[in-house]
Amino acid sequence: MKVLIVDDHEVVRTGLRTLLGAHEDIEITGEAETAAAAVKSAMDTRPDTVLMDVRLPDGSGIEACRRIRSAAPEVRVLMLTSYSDEEAIFAAVMAGASGYLLKQVDADQLYEAILAVGRGESLLDPHLSKAVVDRIHEICEGAPVRGLDSLTEREKEILELIAEGLTNKEIAERVFLSQKTVRNYVSSIFQKIHVSHRTQAAIYYLNRKKDEDRGLTQ
């Protein structure tokens, strides 16, 4: 099982390499510390599974996951994070991630998860609520497809950041606006694309990106 490790902390990458390297049936194909490097390395080495941190210094691991899965659907992505963030979980699943684990898992659980994802199975951390899974199915069944063209360029930028799982505070820091201004933008976006909460907005955006990617490859 070929594995690519993506995390912005060298200590974490070293620890993961040591843990996984102890298993003869796992080969570490490389490491990356940014989203851009993760996509490039995945395209170059074509691992079976990418072990991907959600938050990276140059962007979101979720967006890197989407890009990898769009270009190489055979490559599986297992998200690994310290945060049990429902919005990020939904965004990761819609971006094509095969699994989502919290970093609190022990070494044996991580090893088994990597093997499972590499075999094509899907999984979520057992500590995540069943309600999370139920909501994913409910929202996916009724995800709206409406007018992205009605959004301004700034609204499109903020919608993309919502899809990456960022909070209003994190978006404000990223685009150099106040949190109040970001909240106003978010409300306007919801009205224009006819959604009522962030999860629907994220799914809407990711579905549209998938449609665009399919159109570019045809």
Domains of the chain, residue spans = 2-138, 142-217
Check residue 11 and give its pLDDT: 94
Please tell me the distance from the alpha carbon of residue 213 to that of residue 67, in angstroms, as a whole number: 9
Is CATH 3.40.50.2300 the classification given to domain 2-138?
A: yes
pLDDT tens digits, 89-99: 777 777 788 88
pTM passes above 0.85: no
pLDDT band at 81 (very low <50, low <70, confident <90, very high): confident
pLDDT tens digits, 11-28: 999 999 999 989 999 999
pLDDT tens digits, 112-123: 999 989 888 877
Check residue 104 and give its pLDDT: 84
Q: Select the CATH number that applies to the domain covering 142-217 from these four: 3.30.70.120, 1.10.760.10, 1.10.10.10, 4.10.410.60.
A: 1.10.10.10
Give ∠ CA 129-161-55 in degrees, rounded to 5.
60
Find, among 127, 205, 117, 100, the residue nearest to 161 by Cα. Answer: 205
Res. 101: pLDDT tops 60: yes
